[in-house]
Structure 1
Amino acid sequence: MKQAIGVIDSGVGGLTVAYELMRQLPKEKLIYVGDTARCPYGPRSKEEVQQFTWEMVNFLLARDIKMLVVACNTATAFTLDSLKKHLAIPVIGVIQPGARAAIKFTKNNSIGVIGTDGTIRSNAYTNALKNIKGELDICAKACPMFVPMVEQGIMEGSKAIQVVEEALRPMVEQTQMDTLILGCTHYPLLKSTIQSVVGEDVTLISSSEETARETSTILEMQHLLNHNGITPIHQFYTTGDLNMFMQISKRIFKEQNLQMITIEKAALHQMQDSK
């Protein structure tokens, strides 16, 4: 199977999912689209998120992908059902894998969820968690400052600590959470800063590893795995600042992985009849 796995995100956060996909599925080629020009998606309306998501999907469908990974929590919350209904290829989001991982790790059934305005407003994580295990104490909070900060390359240091402290200190003081879902794929890039604020006793859940694991399972079940021994060259596209995208990519993939990636500017075209 020479076809690629398509990965979409509102910006650079989905690179954390792409990294895990590359690590767990080294024979699979990825084509990634990060809509950095219109990031963040969190404050946008459901209709805007749906339109932008379909534009990215259409860009990837033209490149004959065999599976779609929606590496954006807001896009997952607002478009996953529609994507599954209308696409003939397997589609996976990041919310269900993250919810399952959190339930596996919590010891006191107290789980915190942080995400964009859109993700938290959708109640997607709360519903996913409750559908699996009803007797959970869930505290969900929007952290709208996190994504713009990451997109600017600010992930640690005094400014990052101040922003994270202001957002999360009330959660730490007012809940008994022992597990915190990083409900946005940008947030793992702030992991060390978030951990320092919430304390070492709180387990941070990133859906990246679980999503990659589930992707592997689906590809195997549907006989879509690539058994070609040639190391793939991955294609990464951004709609915004190419230099910033490359700088953040270097932080995540390190130099050796960047040698397997081409990074280009993408122009997305609105898809007609997308829903």
Structure 2
Amino acid sequence: MDKPIGVMDSGVGGLTVAKEIMRQLPDEQIIYFGDLRRCPYGDRPLEEVRQYTVEVADHLVSRGVKMIVVACNTATAAALSDLEDRYDIPVIGVINPGARSAIQSSNNQDVIVLATNATVNSGAYRDAIHHINGGFRVTSLACPKFVPIVEELRYKDKVVVRVALHQTLKGLLGTSADTVILGCTHYPLLAGEIRDFFGGRKNVIDSGYETAREVSSIMTYSRSHAAPGNRKTHVMIVNGDSSRFEYILGDWIPFIDYKIEEIDLEAY
């Protein structure tokens, strides 16, 4: 089925998931929606995030996507069940794949979740992990400094990143947890520094790989893979100014053909 896959996020973070989908499924076309005008979602009330998520998803559905990937942990926590009820196409979030991956990686059933305020307050990762294995210890920490570092293009400034990591994570250095979940899709751009901060002693989980694998499994089951060799230009929709978005896109996924559309979602 040569319809595109819709991928959505509050900003650029979901590109980490889109990149993995492109790597695993190179024949699929992506329509990506970055809601930069209203980014970040992580400090907003969950009901407001739910409203924004539905608006973005409705726009993707209007573009004829065959599946929606909610590549934002906060949006997944706020609205995944609403989207599943609203549409007759598959809707995938990033929390359950990330939780499963952490369970598989941990040897001592002790994990840390680094996430936005909204995701931490929702308890979504704790609930997802305990739904599978109630014996896990889950420590969640809000990291409000991390998303602005990525969105403001400071993620390559090692001094800025290391200061933010030390200020935010210093209380976790002595924990026995052997696995860290990056509970926000912006955080993989800081993954190397986070791994180094813990001295390489903790597994660092990026849910992008598992999310892409789930996308592939669902399409295999429904026989909805795109025809091989029929690659199309990816579409990047930006609600707001696309200049910062395009810089990170070129830096993070330099190998793709794409076109960018700037829109004003609030005008729709």
TM-score range, shorter chain: over 0.9
| Corresponding position of 1:63 | 63
Instruction: Give the % identical residues.
Output: 44
| Corresponding position of 1:109 | 109
Q: Runs of 5+ in structure 2 lacking a partner?
A: none
| Corresponding position of 1:94 | 94
Query: C-alpha displacement at 1:194, in angstroms?
Result: 1.0
| Corresponding position of 1:20 | 20
Q: Runs of 5+ in structure 1 lacking a partner?
A: none
Q: Aligned letter for 1:266?
A: I
What SS does the aligned partner of 2:265 have?
coil
Query: C-alpha displacement at 1:266, in angstroms?
Result: 2.2
> Of 257, 262, 267, which aligns to 1:265?
262
Query: C-alpha displacement at 1:219, in angstroms?
Result: 0.8
CA contact (8 A) 2:84 2:90 kept: yes
Count matched residues.
267
| Corresponding position of 2:172 | 171
Cα separation, 1, equivalents of 2:237 and 2:188: 21
Cα separation, 2, equivalents of 1:167 and 1:19: 27
Query: C-alpha displacement at 1:264, in angstroms?
Result: 2.1
Query: C-alpha displacement at 1:267, in angstroms?
Result: 2.0
Q: Aligned letter for 1:88?
A: D
Query: C-alpha displacement at 1:12, in angstroms?
Result: 0.3
With 11-20 and 233-242 compared, the bigger mean Cα shift is at 233-242
Cα offsets for 1:99-123 (capped at 9, x unmatched): 0000101111110001000000000
CA-based RMSD of the aligned residues comes to 1.2
Cα separation, 2, equivalents of 1:154 and 1:198: 21
| Corresponding position of 1:54 | 54
Query: C-alpha displacement at 1:240, in angstroms?
Result: 2.7
With 239-248 and 23-32 compared, the bigger mean Cα shift is at 239-248
Cα offsets for 1:110-149 (capped at 9, x unmatched): 1000100000000000000111111111110000111111
CA contact (8 A) 2:240 2:264 kept: no
| Corresponding position of 1:247 | 247
CA contact (8 A) 2:233 2:258 kept: yes
Normalising by structure 1, report the TM-score. Answer: 0.94
Cα separation, 2, equivalents of 1:166 and 1:176: 20
Cα offsets for 1:187-243 (capped at 9, x unmatched): 001111111212201110000000000000001101111124222211011123311
| Corresponding position of 1:73 | 73
Cα separation, 2, equivalents of 1:269 and 1:68: 20
Q: Aligned letter for 1:133?
A: N
CA contact (8 A) 1:155 1:193 kept: no
